[in-house]
Amino acid sequence: MKRNNTITILVISIIILAVAATTMGIFSTDGTGPYKFNTIRGKTIMVYGKGLYKHMSAEVAPQGIAQDYITLFAGVPLLIIALFIARKGSVKGMYLLAGTLGYFLVTYLFYTAMGMYNKMFLVYIALMGTSFYAFILTILHFNLNELKNIFKQHTPVKTVGGFLIFTSICIALLWLGIIVPPLLDGTIIPGQVEHYTTLIVQGLDLGILLPAAFISGILLVRKKPSGYLFGPVYFVFLSLLMMALTAKVIAMKVLGYNVIPVIFIIPTFSILTLICAFILLKNIEVKNDRPQFRSESA
Predicted confidence (pLDDT) per residue in 234-278, tens digit: 999 999 999 999 999 999 999 898 898 889 999 999 999 999 999
Closest CA to 123 of 51, 26, 208, 15: 15
- How far is C-alpha 144 from the geometric centre of its chain's CA atoms? 23
pLDDT at res. 260 = 87
Q: How many angstroms separate the CA atoms of 287 and 43, rounded?
A: 61
pTM, full prediction: 0.95
Interhelix angle 210-221/157-185, rounded to 10 degrees, is 150
Check whether 123 has a pLDDT greater than 90.
yes
Check whether 289 has a pLDDT greater than 50.
no
Closest CA to 286 of 91, 140, 145, 154: 91
pLDDT at res. 285 = 87
Mean pLDDT rounded to a whole number for the chain: 94
pLDDT band at 297 (very low <50, low <70, confident <90, very high): very low
Check whether 231 has a pLDDT greater than 80.
yes
Q: Cis link prior to 225 (omega < 30° from 0)?
A: no
pLDDT band at 119 (very low <50, low <70, confident <90, very high): very high
pLDDT band at 286 (very low <50, low <70, confident <90, very high): confident
pLDDT at res. 3 = 60
Residue 35: phi, psi to the nearest 5? -155, 160
Averaged pLDDT for residues 121-148 = 95
Q: How many angstroms separate the CA atoms of 257 and 47, rounded?
A: 15
Percent of the chain with pLDDT over 70: 95
**Cβ 271 vs Cβ 264: under 8 Å:** no
Q: Which amino acid is at 194?
A: E
Averaged pLDDT for residues 46-72 = 97
Check whether 8 has a pLDDT greater than 80.
yes
